[in-house]
Amino acid sequence: MGFGAAIAGHCDFDGDGRDDMAIGAPGSDAVFIYLGANATSGTWTSSARLTAPAVGTSFGAAVACGHLDGDGLTDLVVGAPRSSLDRGAAHWYATQPGGRTFNLRATRDGTTAGDSFGNAVFAARDFDGDGRCDVLVSARGADAGAMMDNGSVTLLRPTMGGTWTLSSVVGGGAAGEQLGGALSSIGDLNGDGLPDVVVGAPFASIPAVNAGRVAAFTITATGTFGPVLLSVRGAAAGEELGASLLR
């Protein structure tokens, strides 16, 4: 995968009120930052290039931005799903004033070789209502006992001090469905005042092989995944419903 394999927009890294972008280039283990288009020229300004802590990790396969540590600046989360024998990793970068310097704050590694933790990341919503955006990281290759590649999604809660804690994990319901192929949020489905999570499982095979499915989960104020609120399945073999979601 090359330049543009993942894009995070609506990221105001420099605080000027215009949308900036983070563009992943996992084939080069890099993420490129572009500051918002000038109203007169319509051009984007290249701001920074972030390189992987280790090469060959597909750093930049997933990118997301959000206000994580309460300092008023938009931070960056980068997935590197091939890190450490495809165990995978997610990296949190704190944006410095001006949007040209990004300091590595924290890294969360996958659990087991082949998990591909960090294949998708999402950081634009405050799911637990503490005033800071939380981070969702998927591991589409995660297993659960005899269920191979059922996939999982992890909720990480950032702190003011620049660390994050593992809050909750939800796993796929069937072998091979690869829950976490894509991540997004749908707003408040159940009326609890908190946004809910939407997750794709593109290789779910009910009613047909690789028909795919999309599931919406609630997250409680204590930061744990609740029950499935809504599930939609693909209608035909090979549809792979849930391979991507609007963010």
3-state secondary structure 49-85: EEECCCCCCCCCCEEEEECCCCCCCCEEEEEECCHHH
Average pLDDT over residues 73-97: 96
Q: Which helix (H) or strand (E) holds 86?
A: helix 83-86
The yes-or-no verdict on residue 42 having pLDDT over 80 is: no
The reported pLDDT for the residue numbered 212 is 97
pTM of the model: 0.94
Average pLDDT over residues 193-212: 95
Exposure string of 121-144, with b = 16+ CB inside 10 Å and e = fewer, is bbbbbebbbeebbbbbbbbbbbbe
Q: In what order do the strands lie in the sheet with 20-25?
A: 6-11, 20-25, 30-35, 45-51
Q: Is the dihedral of CA 74, 218, 82, 164 positive or negative?
A: positive
Average pLDDT over residues 92-119: 94
